[in-house]
A and B are shown apart, each in its own frame.
Chain A
C-alpha cells in the first residue's frame, strides 16, 4: 500500500550546516506517528520538508506516491494540514473566523462562506468542543481552548494528513492530555494520518502508534513504542540513563530518568 506521505533520502542543509541527512521515512496510513528527538535534531525541519514549507537540498518527497513538487501550493494544502508550533492570530480574531481560515484552500475571493464551509466549520468546532464558544475572541480563551481552536482550524481544512508541531507546548499537564486525547479521537473517527512532534517521550509512547526518533538530522529509529523505547535507544538518542516501566494505564513503556 502506498503511504500517504513519505520521503526518500531527504537531505537539507543551510549553507554548509547539515540539518537533515539521508532521511527515508513513510507515514503509515491511518496511524499516529510521533517524531521525537533532542533539541535541534531536525524534527521541525523534517515536518516542514514533508509539507513542502521548506525546500529540501536533496531527495524526494512523495504525496500518495507522486512527487510533491508537481503539485500546486493550493492542492498540497487540500491534502496536508500543518499546525506550526507557535501560532498567533491577528488581534480581534474570533474563534469561528479562525476556524473558517482553515477553509482557505477550498475558497476564493468570491466564495468565502459556502454551505459546505459552514457545515465543516460547525463540525470542526463541535469536534473540538468549542461549539458554544464560536463568537468569543481568541485572545479571551484559555491556552487549552485556544489550542483546540487551532486544531479545529486544521480540521476544517478537510485533509487526510495532519501534521502537528509540538501541539502541547505551553499547556499544563491536564491540557496536554486533553489535546492529545482529542487528536487520538479525531484520528480514529476520521481515519486521518497524523504526524506530530512531541518533546515528552512518555506522551509519545502513550498516544502514538509509531515513534520516529531523530538525532543530528538522521533517523535513528522508526517503529512501535515498545521497540523504540529501550534502555539502549534512550542512551543513544538522548544520552539518558533511565529506567523503563510499563505505564499501568496504557501498557506502553514509560521512562523515568535516573
Chain B
C-alpha cells in the first residue's frame, strides 16, 4: 500500500504515505523552529521564564518581551510564510511554470510601488499598508486584464507580468529619489520585506485573514489539480476552466495581499516553497499543505538568521529569504534547461 484510504460519512480521500510523512516532518520542523524562536534575541530567556510567563507570575519585563515582542513576531513569521507558500504553489500550478510566482503576476512590484507612492503623496507612512494593498491589487488586475484573451493563458500572463513589473520598478525607483532619508528608510520595508516589530494587532489581522482563506485554499486543491491539466483535457473532465482559474488567482492574490500588508513583500518565499515541497514529497502539483509548511519554514529560518546577526549589522528578513531564493531559482532554471534539452 502506497497510500492511506480514508472513507466515511460519504467523504473519501486518498493520501500517499510519503505525503503524510513529509507533511508531518515539516510540521514538526516548523513548530520546533517557532518554539526555539521564543528563546532567540538580545534578552536571554530560559524555559523556566516562558513557563512563568504562561502561568502569569513572571516579572513584567520578561512577559512583555515574550508576549509583546517575540510571540507576535513568530506568529507573523509563521502566518506570512504559510500564506506565501500557498499562494506561490497555486500560481505555479495554475501557470504550469515553476518560475512563476506572485512576484510574476505583478503583485509584489505593485505593492512596493503603492507603498512608496503613498509616502510620496502624504509625506508620512500613515497609509503605507493600504497603499501597498491597492498597488498590488491594481497591478495584478492590470496584468490579468491585459493577458485576457478568451480566458487566461499561462504564457501570456507571464509575459504581461514581466512587462508591468519592469515598468513599476522604474517608477518606484524614480519615486524613491524624491524621498528624504527618513522616509526612504521607512519605505525600505515595502521594497524587501521585514519582520521587525509587528504588533499583535497586525498579527491578529493576518491570522483572521488566514482563518478565512486557508480552508478555501485547501478545498481548492481538488479543482486546481484538474484545471492545471491542459485546457481541453480539463474541460472534457467537466471543469469550468476559466471560472476556476480566476478563482485560483483571486485566492492567491488575497493570500499575498495579506502577507504583503503585514511584512512587505518578502522576496522569493512564494517562489521557493513549491519546488522545495515537490522535491520532498515527490507528488505532482499542487501540494498546497506541503508548500505552505515550506513557506513557513523558510520565513522562520530567515527570521532566525536576521536575528542572529549583531544589532549593528541587522538586516531585514527579506534579505535572507532572497538569499535562499537565489540558489533555488538557479537550480530550477538549470533543471528546466536540462529537461528542455531532453
Contact = CB atoms under 8 A, between A and B. Distances in A.
Interface of A: 48, 51, 53, 73-78, 80-82, 84, 86-94, 97, 100-102, 104-105, 107-115, 117-118, 135, 157
Contacts of A112: 12-14, 222
Contacts of B221: 109
A104 B237 contact: yes
B151 interface: no
14 contacts: A53-B232, A73-B240, A77-B236, A77-B237, A84-B233, A84-B236, A88-B230, A90-B284, A107-B222, A112-B12, A112-B14, A113-B7, A115-B7, A118-B5
Instruction: Choose among A100, A104, A135 the residue with the greatest number of B CB atoms under 10 Å from its CB.
Output: A104
Interface in B11-39: 11-14
A108 B13 CA distance: 10
B73 interface: no
Nearest to B235: A53
Given A92-B284, A97-B284, A114-B7, A109 B222 contact: yes
A80 B12 contact: no
Nearest to A110: B11
Contacts of A97: 284
B223 A109 contact: yes
Contact of B284 (A87, A91, A102, A113): A91
A93 B284 contact: yes
Interface in B239-289: 239-240, 278, 282-285
B219 interface: yes
B7 A53 contact: no
B284 A104 contact: no
B2 interface: yes
Interface of B: 2, 5-7, 10-14, 96, 219-223, 225-226, 228-230, 232-233, 235-240, 278, 282-285
A116 to B, nearest CB: 10
B236 A53 contact: yes
Nearest to A109: B222
Contacts of B222: 107-109, 112
A222 B82 CA distance: 58
Contacts of B223: 109
Nearest to A97: B284
B228 A77 contact: no
Nearest to A98: B284
A74 B238 contact: yes
Given A48-B232, A53-B236, A73-B238, A114 B12 contact: yes
A48 to B, nearest CB: 7
A104 B238 contact: yes
Contacts of B278: 91-92
Contacts of A78: 238
A104 B285 contact: no
Question: Which 9 residue pairs across A and B have the least CB separation, nearest first?
Answer: A77-B238, A105-B238, A113-B14, A74-B238, A109-B222, A82-B236, A90-B284, A104-B237, A92-B284
Contact of A104 (B11, B13, B226, B230): B226
Nearest to B223: A109
A91 B239 CA distance: 21
Contacts of A51: 236
B108 to A, nearest CB: 26
Nearest to B233: A84
A110 to B, nearest CB: 5
Given A84-B233, A90-B229, 5 more contacts: A51-B236, A82-B232, A89-B229, A90-B284, A113-B12
B44 to A, nearest CB: 45
A87 B230 contact: yes
B237 A105 contact: yes
A75 B236 CA distance: 10
A84 B238 contact: no
A93 to B, nearest CB: 4
